[in-house]
Amino acid sequence: MASTAARVQKAVEKQTEFGEKILAAVKASTEGGTKAAAKRAALYGALAGEVGAATTAVVDQGSQDLPAGGKPPYVGLTDRHIFVLSTTTMTAAPRDVVGVIPLDRVAGVSTGETKVVGMNLRTFALAMKDADPFTSEVPNIARKDSDAFVAALQHQLARCPSA
């Protein structure tokens, strides 16, 4: 099975600039998305006997449209951008780029932990220079991807102090 970063690289290859490669990637719910997905699954299961399709609501994060709730998106980091991708319905693989955040808009990143519906989650928040923070939740099963993403982002921000 290909790594998360390799799957995201393949999905974004037509939208990257020359020489731009995914350094790290993680599948992450927007803040509150994990709890909302659990509630939807319980509701759909009770009503239809199976888990239904996730919602596709979109919220405005500064000047970027990023998914809220629904299926967890993938977040990929290059040396110039953060890409946010939707997922396929059947396999939840990375599919379409739904948002691009230039690194020069990111002021920093912070991490934390929380518990939702009995599940331990890592969180990371991108502090934006010109918009509200973009906070994501990552199940502990993807902790290595989350830690690698945060470390790579911190490294990129340290390399470019003006970013």
Question: What is the secondary structure of 38-74 as a DSSP string?
Answer: HHHHHHHHHHHSS--PPP--EEEETTEEEE-SSSPPE
**Tokens encoding 153:** 């982002």
Number of domains making up the chain: 1
Write out pLDDT tens, residues 89-134.
Answer: 778 889 888 888 899 999 999 888 888 777 778 888 888 888 888 7
The winner for highest mean pLDDT among 44-48, 55-59, 80-84 is 80-84
Structural domain range at position 119: 4-159
Write out pLDDT tens, residues 64-89.
Answer: 444 444 566 888 999 999 998 888 87
Q: For residue 83, what is the domain's CATH number?
A: 2.30.29.30
CA 89, CA 43: separation in Å to the nearest integer? 19
What pTM was computed for the model? 0.72
